[in-house]
Amino acid sequence: MIAHADIPVEAPLRRRILGSALSAAVGWLALNIFVLGVLAIEALQREQPSNYSWWLGSAFIAPYSALFVFGTWLVLLIPLYLLIPLRSVLWRWPVCTFCGAIAGGLIMSAFYGSNSPDSGSTMMIVLASATGAVTCLFGALTARRFHRA
């Protein structure tokens, strides 16, 4: 006889969507903290730390990157987060992180297209891969918390 306490109960839909949204937000935040750090280091190397114009680059990138991250979240991540069963191998953090890195790079590559192999697009593809990896790592590590009541 199986006791009812042994059967995991699925969390409400809003809780699972919250887990998915937090994953996207953590990926977006990691990207923007990295960009802010790089811009600050460049300003220090130019010996212009009192000139706060480097904040403008970060302020421009934050909403631009939010369109990509949260657009991808709406179109791809919510359905995947809700439809992939928790027992799937895809929820193991190494697999999920790798898939996120590949997906982030592919999405950004599709945006830039094959006609733009310059260093700027390469850097954007690398940053998108890192963002996808962080997003999926956080999602995989917290999935049980948000999927089960």
Domain boundaries, the chain: 11-147
Helix 119-147, helix 93-112: angle, nearest 10 = 140
Q: Please give the chain's pLDDT, 149 residues, in tens.
A: 455 555 667 778 899 999 999 999 999 999 999 998 888 888 777 766 566 676 777 888 899 899 989 999 999 999 999 999 999 999 999 999 999 999 999 999 888 776 666 666 788 889 999 999 999 999 999 999 998 76
Strands (E), the chain: none
Whole-number Å distance between alpha carbons of 131 and 62: 13
Tokens of 83: 């439809």
